[in-house]
């Protein structure tokens, strides 16, 4: 078997970049680039075509050795990751088995997921109105009722929300640019009023959720070390699941393990990071220095599902937990997360459910609606990733000027 083509296409209204690898035996593999707004990566994906043509796609590692070093931290690792996942899809289909069997087999028959966004399996319009404690309380009360029985939910606070730009004198730093994405650009020492406001909002979330639903918090990046420690210590009595990306995260192209270690060793509140990190080497310092309690690699950014599994195994050896990121991975990324999470060691907590709402209805086949039950998703046994596209429906939603998987 040989690779004959690498193709991409963009679904217009979703800005979703889908990837397909074709072979001379008529078997194709599907993947999706992380985050809906990364459709600009199409030329980057196609750049790798010259390196993988004529290769045997079932020799996944051999193909990846040709392109892995050409990627980088988020978003530039997403192109390499998509190719890797499409290769595993081909390998599974060729063998007639689900991908998890090729990764060593299942550790678990169902995988726990957590709700990290407003839309998955939620009624239209279920959004937080503002950033007051009352707003957070009301929002948590409504999200707690969502179908699926989620046992863990996550909220953005501080610099990973509009809190830092809408609460008066929240911090001493400069205002963000551009203002439409404040949490990606803000940083600064937090004022006493700002810190107290953040703590009050978290307390409101806990009051609404009780001890029935675990509370995770996406915090930045942007916190300065003294404030990160103050916040973490103040929240210790609330038993939150973790504080995510306080120092670095998202599109930060470095990890600062020594600084993270200072925060982690100062508190019993679990500290989490890793969604933007590319490759196992990117996690090496964080893991070996015990800089965090939990890592959160995204299969669509870290280099693919086997790369994520390798990172999980290495973290497990060092007593570090894993809760993979996934909010922007779409339905094909969701299928990949299910497959790899079934095989992860017992340091696995849950993965973040991708934000797959009604806008994807009719475009994909293979993922059942309302798949989350009691906080878990059953691991399917279809060959490959188990996902196919509804070609007729997709063609109607393509970006103007594109054809179905144009090359």
Segment 101-110, tens digit of pLDDT: 999 999 999 9
- Judging by DSSP bridges, how do beta strands 376-378 and 388-389 pair with one another? unpaired
Detail the DSSP E strand segments found in 208-300: 214-218, 242-244, 271-273, 294-295
Q: What mean pLDDT do residues 230-238 have? A: 98
Tokens representing residue 173 in the block:
């730093």
> Could you tell me the CA-to-CA distances from 366 to 200, 208, 289 in Å, in that order?
43, 35, 41
Q: What mean pLDDT do residues 135-152 have? A: 93
Question: Over the stretch 73-92, which tens digit does the pLDDT of each residue have?
Answer: 999 999 999 999 999 999 99
Question: Over the stretch 34-68, which tens digit does the pLDDT of each residue have?
Answer: 977 788 999 999 999 999 999 999 999 999 999 99
Specify the higher pLDDT residue, 174 or 243: 243
Residues 6 or more apart whose CB falls under 8 angstroms from that of 308 comprise: 297, 299, 302, 324, 340
Domains along the chain?
Answer: 3-97+390-395 (3.30.390.10), 101-388 (3.20.20.120)
First to last CA, the chain: 20
Residue 192: what pLDDT?
97
Q: Which helix (H) or strand (E) holds 207?
A: helix 192-209
Confidence of residue 123 (pLDDT cuts 50, 70, 90): very low
Q: What mean pLDDT do residues 194-214 have? A: 97
Q: What mean pLDDT do residues 169-178 have? A: 80
* Residue from 350, 400, 398 nearest 375 by CA: 350
Q: What mean pLDDT do residues 187-203 have? A: 97
Residues 326 and 32: their CA atoms lie apart, in Å, by: 12
Would the pLDDT of 183 be above 60? Answer: no
Residue 126: what pLDDT?
62
Tokens representing residue 345 in the block:
């060691």
CB 32 within 8 A of CB 84: no
Question: Over the stretch 361-392, which tens digit does the pLDDT of each residue have?
Answer: 899 999 887 899 999 999 999 999 999 999 99
Mean pLDDT value across the chain: 93
Tell me the pTM.
0.95
Q: What mean pLDDT do residues 123-140 have? A: 80
Please work out, in degrees rounded to the nearest 5, the angle formed at the alpha carbon of residue 42 by the alpha carbons of 40 and 44.
100
Would the pLDDT of 244 be above 50? Answer: yes
Detail the DSSP E strand segments found in 24-170: 29-32, 110-114, 152-156
Confidence of residue 99 (pLDDT cuts 50, 70, 90): very high
Residue 229: what pLDDT?
98
Counting residues of the chain whose pLDDT is more than 90, the rounded percentage is 84
Please tell me the least confidently modeled range out of 21-35, 121-135, 142-156: 121-135
Write out the DSSP string of 154-176. EEE-GGGSTHHHHSTT-BSSPPP
Residue 178: what pLDDT?
58
Q: What mean pLDDT do residues 336-349 have? A: 98
């Amino acid at each position: 078997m040989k690779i004959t083509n690498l193709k991409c296409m963009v679904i217009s209204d979703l800005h979703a970049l889908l990837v397909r690898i074709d072979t001379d035996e008529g078997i194709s593999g599907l993947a999706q680039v992380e985050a809906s707004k990364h459709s600009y990566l199409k030329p980057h994906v196609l750049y790798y075509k010259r390196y993988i043509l004529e290769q045997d796609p079932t020799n996944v590692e051999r193909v990846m050795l040709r392109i892995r070093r050409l990627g980088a931290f988020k978003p530039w690792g997403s192109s390499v990751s998509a190719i890797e996942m499409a290769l595993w899809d081909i390998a599974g289909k060729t063998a007639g088995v689900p991908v998890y069997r090729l990764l060593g087999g299942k550790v678990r028959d169902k995988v726990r997921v957590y709700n990290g966004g407003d839309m998955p399996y939620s009624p239209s319009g279920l959004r937080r109105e503002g950033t007051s404690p009352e707003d957070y309380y009301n929002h948590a009360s409504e999200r707690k009722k969502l179908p699926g029985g989620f046992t863990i939910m996550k909220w953005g606070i501080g610099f990973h929300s509009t809190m830092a730009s809408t609460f008066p004198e929240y911090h001493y730093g400069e205002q963000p640019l551009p203002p439409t994405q404040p949490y990606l650009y803000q940083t600064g020492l937090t004022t006493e009023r700002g810190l107290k406001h953040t703590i009050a909002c978290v307390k409101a979330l806990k009051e609404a959720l009780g001890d029935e639903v675990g509370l995770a918090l996406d915090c930045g990046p942007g916190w300065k070390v003294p404030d990160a420690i103050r916040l973490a210590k103040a929240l210790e009595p609330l038993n939150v699941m973790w504080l995510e990306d306080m120092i670095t995260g998202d599109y930060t192209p470095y990890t600062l393990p020594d600084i993270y270690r200072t925060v982690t060793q100062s508190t019993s509140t679990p500290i989490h990071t890793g969604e933007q990190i590319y490759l196992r080497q990117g996690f090496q310092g964080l893991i070996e220095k015990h800089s965090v309690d939990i890592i959160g690699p995204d299969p669509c950014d870290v280099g693919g599902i086997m790369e994520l599994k390798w990172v999980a195994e290495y973290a497990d050896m060092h007593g570090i937990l894993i809760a993979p990121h996934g909010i922007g991975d779409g339905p094909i990324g969701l299928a990949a997360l299910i497959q790899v999470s079934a095989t992860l060691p017992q340091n696995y907590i849950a993965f973040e459910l991708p934000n797959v709402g009604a806008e994807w209805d009719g475009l994909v086949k293979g993922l059942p609606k309302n798949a989350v039950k009691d906080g878990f998703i059953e691991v399917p046994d279809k060959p490959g990733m188990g996902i196919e596209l509804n070609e007729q429906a997709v063609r109607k939603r393509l970006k103007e000027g594109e054809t179905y998987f144009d090359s």
